[in-house]
Structure 1
Amino acid sequence: MRTQVAIVGAGPAGLLLSHLLARGGVDSVVLETRSEQYVAARIRAGILEHSSVELLESAGLGARLRAEGDEHRGIHLQWPRERHHLDFVELTGRSVWVYGQTEVQKDLVAARRAGGQEIIYEVSDVALHDVDSDRPSVTYADRSGAVQRLDADVIAGCDGSFGPSRAAVPAARTFERVYPYSWLGILADVAPSTDELIYAWHPDGFALHSMRSATVSRLYLQVPNGTDPASWSDDRIWDALATRLGHGQNGWKLTPGPITDKSVLPMRSRVQTPMRHGNLFLAGDAAHIVPPTGAKGLNLAIADVALLSRALIARIRENDPRLADTYSETAQRRVWRCTHFSWWMTTMLHTSGDPFDAELQLSQLRWVASSRAGATGLAENYAGLPIFI
C-alpha cells in the first residue's frame, strides 16, 4: 500500500494532521496500535487555548465546540484565606475554552470518517524503515497478524512518548525534568462548584478544581510519586479537596459527588530535539511532554500539527521544502516557551515541605495577583501565544 503521508498515531495530533492535509489536497493513511474505543475514551486535557480554538474553527471543527464547550475569561489563583480572579480577556483580549480531549477526538473521528480517511486500528509490531531516504516505509501486523507495508513520501510520528517514532530519530538530544510529586485526578458526577478553574496553593499540597461539563467535575490533588489511587478513599479525597480549595472560605462551598474515575499522573517535562530526521517528522507527545499545570499538552500538539501540515502541503503539492526544512526549529520555539511556562506554574504552586520554598511561592503568587504586569504575563502564556510565531 502507498500513500503520501503515513501517520503513526490516531489521537488528536494524528487525526488533526490527516484532516488538515486532506484540506490541502494531500493523502494520508493513519495507523494506531489501540482500538478506536480505547483512543476515544482516554481522559486527558480539557483546556483549549484561544489559538487552538481559532485553528479548529478554521478547519471546520468548531461547531460542537461552540455549542457544547464552555468559554472562560480566566482562572482563580488561591492560597489560604485569599482567592484572586485573573481576567484573561481584560488583560490580553484572549479567552480559553473548557472542551475535553475526548470531545476533540470525537469531532476529529467524525470529520475523518465523513472524509473517507483510512484509519487502521489495532496494529502491532510497528516499525519505521529508511526514514533518511526518499522511500520511507512503515511495517506493521494487522489484526489478523499478517505483516503489511505502507510506503510513503513522508512519515509523521504522532504516536506519543512510548511509540516507535521518537526512537527512530538517531542521535536525538533529550532534555528532561522529573518532578518529585504527582497528581491524583478524579472525575465526579457533580456540577462544578466554581465558574472557572481554581489553582490552589496550600501547605498540604496543590489542588485544582476543573470541569468537563455542566454536570461533570475534574479535580486534582498533589500526592507523592508512586501513590496508589486505591489508597485514597472517596471520603479522604473530598476532605483533602475541601481543605486545600478553601471550603467555607468567604462562603464558598465545595460540593462532593460520586467519583467515576480515579488515577495518578506523574509530573514530568521532556523535550526531544530535533523533531525531524530525514522524512520523519515528530509532533505532539512524540516530541515533548509538559506537566499539565499550564494546560499546554494538547495545545502544543495542535500547534505542531498546524505548522507541520503547512510544511508538508508546501513540500508535496508545491515542491517547496522551506517550511519542512525549518519545521523543527520553528516548532521548538513555541515548545520551549510552553515548557518554561508549565515549569513556572508547577514550581509556583506545588509544595516541597521546605518553609523557604513556601515563602518564595507565596511571594510570587501575591505579585502575580497584585501586579498587572505579572497577571498579564500569566494570562498571555495561559490563553496561548499565536501558533505561527
Structure 2
Amino acid sequence: MRTQVAIIGAGPAGLTLGRLLEKAGIDAVIVERKSADYVLSRIRAGVLEQASVELLSSIGVDTRMNAEGIIHEGVELSFDGDMLRIDFEGLIGRHVMVYGQTEVTRDLMDARIQTGGKTVYEAEDVEILDFDTATPRVRYRKDGETYEIACDFIAGCDGFHGVSRQSVPEAALKIYERVYPFGWLGVLVEQPPVAEELIYAHHHRGFALCSMRSHTRSRYYVQVDAAEKVEDWSDDTFWDELRARLNPEVAEALKTGPSIEKSIAPLRSFVAEPVRFNSLFLAGDAAHIVPPTGAKGLNMAIHDVGLLASALTEYYAEKSEAGLDAYSEKLLANTWRTERFSWWMTQLLHTFPETGPFGRKIQRADFDYLKASIHARRTLAENYTGFRPEAG
C-alpha cells in the first residue's frame, strides 16, 4: 500500500489530522491498534477553546457540536467554600464550549466513513520503520496477514503509550516529567449539572470539580491518593466526599444518582523534545501530557495537528519544507505555555502532601489575588480560553 502520510492512532488527534489532510487533497491512511468501539468508549473531558471550535468547523464536523455543545462564558473557582467567578466574556470577550471528546471523535469517525478515508482498526504489532530515511514505512498485522504502508511522512498521534514515541532512540529524546502523588476519581451520572458553569474547588480535604457532558448528564471528580482503587469507592462514599468539598449551597443543590461510569485518572506533566525525527512527527499525547485541571489536553492535540497539517500542505503545494522544519519549535513553544498554565491551576487547586499549612496559605494568597486583581483574572481567562501569541 502507498500513501502520502501514514497516521498512527485514530483518536481525535489522528482523525482531525486525517480530515485536515483530506481537505487539502493529501492522501492519508490511519492505523489504529484498537477497535472503533474501544476508541469511542474512552471517557474524556471536552472543554473546547474557541480556536478548536473554529478548526473543527472549518473541516465540516460541527453540525452536532453546534447543536449540542454548551457555550460557557466563565468558570467558578472555590476556596474552602468562598466563590469567585472568572467572567471570560466580560474580561476578554471570549468563551469555551463544553462538548465531549467522545462526541468529537464520533463526528470525525462519521465524516471519514462518509468520504471513504481509509482507517485500519485492530492493527496488531504496529512497527514504524526507516523514519530516519526518505522512505519510511509502517508495518502491521491484521487478521493474520502482514501489511506494509510506504509513505512520505508518519504522524505519531497514538498517545502516551503508543508505538510512535517508543520507536525513537532514547538518546534522541529529552524527557521532562512530573508525576503527581494523586489522581482524579471521576463519576458520570444521569443528572442535570449542579451549576451552569464548571466549578473548580479547593478544599483542605482535596480538590473537586463539578463538570458536565450535557444538560442532563454530569461528570464530577474528587482528588484521591495515587494508590486508591476505584472499587473501594461506593457511590454513596463518593457523593459524601464531593459534598464535603463544595460550597454548602452548591452541595445542597447537588443531584446524585447511580454512577454510569467510575474511574481514577492519574495526573502527570510530560513533555518530549524534540517532536520531529526526519519523517516522523509526534503530536498530541505522544508529545506531551498535561494535568486535566486546565482543560487543555484535547485542545493541545487539535493545535498540534493543525500546525502539522499546515506544514504538510505547504510541502505538497509549494515544495517548501519551511513549515516542517519549524514544526518542533512552534509546537514546543505552545506546549510549554500550556504546561505552565496547567501546572499553575493544579498547584492552586489541589492539596499537596508536602506543602503543609504554609503551602495552603500561599494557595489562599493566590486565590485572594485573583479576587482582588482584574489583571490576574484576565490572565487566567486568556489562558483558559486559549492563549495564542499571534492573536495578541
Give yes or no for TM over 0.5. yes
The residue aligned with 2:235 is: 234
> Over residues 139-178 of structure 1, what are the superposed CA-to-partner deviations in whole Å (9 max), with x where a residue is unaligned?
0001x12111010000000000111101223311110011
> Over residues 163-214 of structure 1, what are the superposed CA-to-partner deviations in whole Å (9 max), with x where a residue is unaligned?
1101223311110011111110110111101110000000000000000011
Q: CA deviation at 1:81?
A: 3.5
Separation in 2 of the partners of 1:379 and 1:268? 23
2:159 counterpart of 1:187:
no
Q: CA deviation at 1:50?
A: 1.2
Number of residues paired by the alignment? 387
Question: Counterpart amino acid of 2:242?
Answer: L
Separation in 1 of the partners of 2:358 and 2:83? 22
The residue aligned with 1:174 is: 175
The residue aligned with 1:211 is: 212
Superposed, 1:1-389 pairs within 5 Å as 1-142=1-142, 144-170=143-169, 171-248=172-249, 253-353=253-353, 354-386=356-388
Question: Counterpart amino acid of 2:152?
Answer: D
Separation in 1 of the partners of 2:387 and 2:104? 20
- Are residues 59 and 379 of structure 1, via their aligned partners in 2, closer, same or farther at CA, if it must alter by over 3 Å? same
Which 4+ residue blocks in structure 1 deviate beyond 4 angstroms? none
Q: CA deviation at 1:388?
A: 5.9
Separation in 2 of the partners of 1:119 and 1:183? 33
Local SS of the residue matching 1:34: coil
Q: Is the 8 A contact 1:51 1:387 kept in 2?
A: no
TM-score, with structure 1 as normaliser: 0.97
Separation in 2 of the partners of 1:252 and 1:225? 29
> Over residues 219-269 of structure 1, what are the superposed CA-to-partner deviations in whole Å (9 max), with x where a residue is unaligned?
1000000210111111110011111112336x9521112211111111101
Separation in 2 of the partners of 1:370 and 1:106? 42
Q: Is the 8 A contact 1:189 1:217 kept in 2?
A: yes
Percent identity at matched positions? Answer: 49
Q: Is the 8 A contact 1:307 1:388 kept in 2?
A: no
Between 58-67 and 301-310, report the one with greater CA deviation: 58-67
- Are residues 388 and 325 of structure 1, via their aligned partners in 2, closer, same or farther at CA, if it must alter by over 3 Å? farther
Question: Counterpart amino acid of 1:377?
Answer: T
Q: CA deviation at 1:55?
A: 1.1
Q: CA deviation at 1:387?
A: 8.4
Separation in 1 of the partners of 2:52 and 2:257? 31
Separation in 1 of the partners of 2:389 and 2:98? 19
Separation in 1 of the partners of 2:372 and 2:196? 21
Structure 1 unaligned runs (5+)? none
TM-score, with structure 2 as normaliser: 0.97
Local SS of the residue matching 1:193: coil
Local SS of the residue matching 1:326: helix
Q: Is the 8 A contact 1:26 1:317 kept in 2?
A: no
Separation in 2 of the partners of 1:337 and 1:386? 10
- Are residues 88 and 349 of structure 1, via their aligned partners in 2, closer, same or farther at CA, if it must alter by over 3 Å? same
- Are residues 195 and 252 of structure 1, via their aligned partners in 2, closer, same or farther at CA, if it must alter by over 3 Å? farther
Between 10-19 and 75-84, report the one with greater CA deviation: 75-84
Separation in 2 of the partners of 1:299 and 1:81? 30
- Are residues 73 and 252 of structure 1, via their aligned partners in 2, closer, same or farther at CA, if it must alter by over 3 Å? farther
Q: Is the 8 A contact 1:7 1:30 kept in 2?
A: yes
Separation in 2 of the partners of 1:147 and 1:58? 37
Separation in 1 of the partners of 2:27 and 2:165? 23
- Are residues 9 and 124 of structure 1, via their aligned partners in 2, closer, same or farther at CA, if it must alter by over 3 Å? same
Q: Is the 8 A contact 1:173 1:273 kept in 2?
A: yes
